[in-house]
Structure 1
Amino acid sequence: MIWNALRQAGRVPSDLSVQQRFRVQQRFSHRVLGHLGVQLELRGLEHIGEGPYLIAPLHEGIADVLCLLRLPLPMRFVARREIFGWPEVGPAITRLGHLSINPEHPLGGFRDLWRGAESILGGGESLVVFPQGTVLGLQTDFQRGVFEVARRVGVPILPVALSGTHRIWEHPFAPTLRYGQRVALTVLPPISAEELQTGNLEAIRVRTRRAMKAAALAPGSPPVRFFEPDRDGYWDGFRLVIDPDYPELARRMDARRGSLIPETA
């Protein structure tokens, strides 16, 4: 069913309007989430205005996309370049006009993100950028690029906390597809374009990161994914920074990566 839905998405006209793309993507989300029996709890919808926003969610897995598409906002997504080469998935997201970047090349990736954001947001759609840039777990840090792009383009950021999506499909750590999982999606108050223009971006980044992770860990929420490198791998060569609020894990990762650097005379 999922592959068939992706094939259908890959055959839509390439010149969809904003509202046509919104309807196609929402139908896809409803169909797949309904089939999987996902119990989605939407919280904080009162914080959503007209947009467009640069939407900054936590990232646990591919199912994040399906859940975010339940928000009442036309949106496109930023995805790693290699995903555009996946069977069925790649043609669908290419046809729907999502944005490809290469985060392993920071300067080029930021340039592509900035230019794509100007075009998409200028056309009235929100753009989803995962500030962690990885599905490894809650302890990964937020990258600065999301906040810098929002400042340059002049749009507000809409923070969204997600928890429980990794239980649906924990790719690339496990192949199991699970039904009937509970997921919480919590929309936090937006960060205004004015604050992003005049405020300290580093302070805003840290404050936002802590607020989103606290929301995901709130009592009664579905369990979040925690990164355990001895189980999940250390991802050598992958651009990965651990949140300094998790100092023991940060120390372990720094020690591991330091051991891989050849000693110099």
Structure 2
Amino acid sequence: MLRLIACFLYMGGYLVWSMPKLSKVKKLPADLELGERKRRIFETPKNWSKTFLALTGSQVEVQGLNNIPKGPVLFASNHEGDFDIPVLIGAIDKPFGFISKIEVKKVPILSSWMEAIDCIFIDRKNREKAADSIFTGVDLLTKGNSLLIFPEGTRSKGGPVGRFKAGGFRLAKDSGVPIVPISVTGTADVFEKNGRLVKPAKIKVIISEPIYSWQYKDKDLIAIADDVRDKILRSRDEKRIAS
């Protein structure tokens, strides 16, 4: 219970404390080089995520950082639990935004930071608005930004990796950026499996080799989704055998 209270107090306190930094990043010069702009904006969420995870007492092992290519990419990860986002923000050096449900946009300060790192809020109940969100994501990727999607669409809570929904891979198909598959294990052990209390866990992040546009351009979205899921599952099996 104490870890849960510490995590939520830290989250709320950090958001309030970060407001001056949020104001500063909103005023960054328009002519600032994109990579430097993203680095400066992403610095605060990254510092938050590392301390937040430290409060849980968890250990995070990251493999395959060298597999992330230069330039914009579409990260595609399985979705174990609520702690996936802070784990990935802390683990991945390349700044990225992510796809989030529209309801999160109502959370003050947090939603502003998410907008600052170019997250996309998607309304799954409205197909027309959801399609507009995909167009926005394609535009961001084309302009050099990276994005993260959770193709399962919901948390597995530590269960088997679900079937990947194909729609999010339209982002890669229409922009031509590499897809970087990511396996996350152990985050559900922090929260979801504990009656929604926070406990220490061993978390593993495995970043697989990218799938480039020339490898997927002639495939339909369902085939791409299946390929990415298979690659994530294989990376887990290889890790298990190596251990």
- Normalised by the length of structure 1, the TM-score is 0.73
Structure 1: distance between partners of 2:64 and 2:226: 21
Q: Match for 1:104 among 125, 130, 141?
A: 125
Q: Which runs of 5+ in 1 are unaligned?
A: 222-265
Q: Which residue of 1 aligns with 2:38?
A: 18
| More deviation, 49-58/88-97 | 88-97
- The verdict on how the C-alpha distance between 1:86 and 1:214 changes in structure 2, with shifts beyond 3 A counting, is farther
Which among 172, 175, 193 is matched to residue 150 of structure 1?
172
| Uncovered stretches (5+) of structure 2, i.e. residues with no partner | 1-9, 29-36
| Residues 49-198 of structure 1: pairs in structure 2 closer than 5 A | 49-69=69-89, 70-86=91-107, 89-119=110-140, 121-137=141-157, 138-170=160-192, 174-178=195-199, 180-198=200-218
C-alpha deviation, 1:211, in angstroms: 2.3
Give, as a single letter, the amino acid of the residue that structure 2 aligns with 1:101. Answer: I
Matched, 1:33 2:42: no
TM value normalised by structure 2:
0.79
Higher helix share: 2
Map Cα deviations across residues 170-229 of structure 1 (whole Å, 9 max, x no partner): 29x943122x211010001111022232334432321221221343465289xxxxxxxx
TM-superposed CA distance for 1:139, in Å, is: 4.2
CA distance in 2 between partners of 1:89 and 1:170 (Å): 22
| Equivalent AA in structure 2 for residue 177 of structure 1 | V
SS in structure 2 at match of 1:56: strand
**Residues 194, 107 of structure 1: alpha-carbon distance in 2 compared, 3 angstrom cutoff:** farther
Sequence identity, in percent? 24
Pairwise CA distance, 1:10: 4.8
* Shift of residue 145, structure 1, vs aligned partner: 1.4
Aligned residues: 219
- Paired with 2:17 and 2:142, the residues of 1 have a C-alpha distance of 28
> Which residue identity does 2:14 align to in structure 1?
A
